[in-house]
Every structure is written in C-alpha cells, then in structure tokens.
Amino acid sequence: MNRTRYKMLGILDEIKLEKLMRSHPIPSSGKFKCRIIYDEKLDMIEFVSYQIKPIYSIKLIEHNEIEYPHKFLDRKPFEFLSDSVSEDEILIVKNGKITDTSYSNIVFFDGQNWITPQTFLLNGTMRQFLLESNQIIENEIGINDLDKFKSFKLINAMMNLEESPEREMTMIR
C-alpha cells in the first residue's frame, strides 16, 4: 500500500497499517479479505467474507493495452472484458503472452512443476511468496504453449497453491 502510494501519488509518509489494524474489529471465524481503501489518506478498512469463486469455463481474451501494475479499487477494465464473454472467467492474453485472470494470477502444471507466466499484469502477493519459496517457477508462456500443460490453478492472496482447486486445461477456451 505504501509503495503504491509512493509510486502513484509521490507520497513518502507511510500509513502504519499494522497499528491501525490493532484497533479495528477483526472477525473471529470464517475467511475474510481485508479491503483497504486509500489515496492520500486512509479512507476505510473493511472485512469482506471470502469464498472461492466457482469456475467452470475460462475464455482466452486478447487485450494488448491493458495495464494493472497496482491493485486498484476501480476494476472497470476487467469488468468490461468479463462482461463481453459468457464464460465464468477470463484469461487475459497480452501481445500473445498469457498474463492473469480478472481476479488472480495463474499457475500451470507441466507434470513436474507449477509454472506462472512472467508476463503477469499484477505481481500478486501469493504469486511472489510462491516464487520466493520455490513452490512455483516463472517462465514465458504464449498461447501456443498451453497444450504443454496438464492442469492449472488460480492463486491470489486468499487462495494459496494447496487450497486452490486443480483445474483441467479443457476449461480454457
């Protein structure tokens, strides 16, 4: 959050989120994502119940201009792309390379390793953790490489590699 505030707004002073969280009521049971809304100052902290999204089909959709280097509250580009297909989810292709879905990074299984595209839109916290802990590796993955994989998983801050369902490659159209 503080890195984004610096890069996007040029703000050097840090919000001490850990301190603020201590005084905020945190749900005691269930799985919740913490949504922090901020700009120059902290606007809101809220906890939202989290369920893994049921997905039965994914549409490859090419969009060469999309950029998403930081987590934003405004998700209109993803909503626009998702609304244009009948499938449950989209997998964005940029300049012929696989990137991310509308809400997660993706990892593919080749029979030995879990591999994530190096052409991500957002370097998610779970993706980075899994790379640093050597649970996944990063590689360039083009559209024509998809037939090399046996399965895939979607990962984000709320879904680690173990709890994300392993999915068949035939789901990607």
Q: pLDDT of 28-54, one tens digit each?
A: 888 998 888 888 888 888 899 998 889
Strand bridging mode 167-168 / 42-49: unpaired
The secondary structure element, H or E, covering residue 97 is strand 97-101
Q: pLDDT of 74-109, one tens digit each?
A: 777 778 788 889 999 999 999 999 999 999 999 999
User: Domain map of the chain by residue range?
Assistant: 2-49, 58-171
CA-nearest of 62, 64, 69 to 122 is 69
pLDDT of 107 reads: 98
Coil/strand/helix, residue 53: coil
CATH class in words for 58-171: alpha beta
